[in-house]
Structure 1
Amino acid sequence: MASKGVSAKKQQGEQLQTTYSNYKNTLQQLASKIGDVEQEAEEHKLVLETLEPLSGDRKCFRMINGVLVERTVKDVVPALKTNADGLKKVLDDLVKQYKAKQDDLEKWKKKNNIQVVQS
């Protein structure tokens, strides 16, 4: 009888540890995605800052699906602005997801009386 109680507690502890690990992994993946999108948005910003003062008729090159394509500045700048706006929206959504998942983790920790021990 006593071994069943110990076994059930051990199983519950393992289940809590697995759930905690899943939360942490999800948060880490979201943080990684946020970093990638931030980096890409920063690259778009730098390119736009470089191209905007130039003449619209000037040649520039753009990589599209692995193919380098010759365009003019006036053709590329609107596409870059659209992409930059899209990246900003994606970044905002990812940050909201991260905060929501972090709130879920905190609620779960309070509900299950979890205290993280740093070693």
Structure 2
Amino acid sequence: MASKTIPAKKQQELQATYSNYKNTLQQLAQKIGDVEQEAEEHKSVTSPTPAAHSLHYLVARPIQGFWILALVLETLEPLSNDRKCFRMINGVLVERTVKDVVPALQTNAEGLKKVLDDLVKQYKTKQDDLEKWKVGD
């Protein structure tokens, strides 16, 4: 049975290339996680009634990734534009109107979705490159 030996220098090159692919994939996965975590930190609170003494709050909490923004937008959609709304900005709860909050949330949701889609695409491309490299293409 013939044994195929690879020179030590070639083995080191192969290991370095493999490690580079794995590190890049790990960094992209970390960035994806960071974007999802960033999205979870965007919370919105709305008051369901304008009555001053009977405020009940609907608190939109993170559910999965950035989809919370879509849920909040869906919740705010049927409300009138002058309805009182509260938004958490840098840890501070500020009073706004639905008219003021919805455009900002739409922009955030679109931006986060685009960034996340780009990162996932990069991850898949790099993963495909690794698989091709393993096969020897």
TM-score by length of 2: 0.63
Highest relative contact order (Cα 8 Å, sep 6+), 1 or 2? 1
Gap regions ≥5 residues in structure 1: 1-5, 113-119
The percent identity for this pair of structures is 77
**Larger mean Cα displacement after TM superposition, 16-25 or 33-42:** 33-42
Alpha-carbon RMSD: 2.4
TM-score by length of 1: 0.71
Matched residues in 1 for 2:125 and 2:30: separation?
16
Name the residue aligned to 2:100.
75
1:7-26 residue CA offsets vs partner (Å, 9 max, x unmatched): x9223323322321221121
Following superposition, the deviation at residue 36 of structure 1 comes to 4.2
Name the residue aligned to 2:56.
none
Aligned pair partner of 1:9 in 7, 10, 34: 7
Name the residue aligned to 2:83.
58
Matched letter for residue 31 of structure 1:
A
Shift in alpha-carbon separation, 1:85–1:71, aligned structure 2, 3 A: same
Matched residues in 2 for 1:60 and 1:25: separation?
43
Matched residues in 1 for 2:115 and 2:20: separation?
23
The number of residue pairs the alignment matches comes to 106
**Larger mean Cα displacement after TM superposition, 74-83 or 94-103:** 94-103
**Larger mean Cα displacement after TM superposition, 27-36 or 16-25:** 27-36
Matched residues in 2 for 1:18 and 1:33: separation?
22
Alignment partner of 1:23 is 2:21? yes
Matched letter for residue 16 of structure 2:
T
Matched residues in 2 for 1:48 and 1:77: separation?
7
Matched letter for residue 57 of structure 1:
D
Q: Is the helix fraction higher in 1 or 2?
A: 1
Matched letter for residue 70 of structure 1:
E
Matched residues in 1 for 2:16 and 2:93: separation?
46
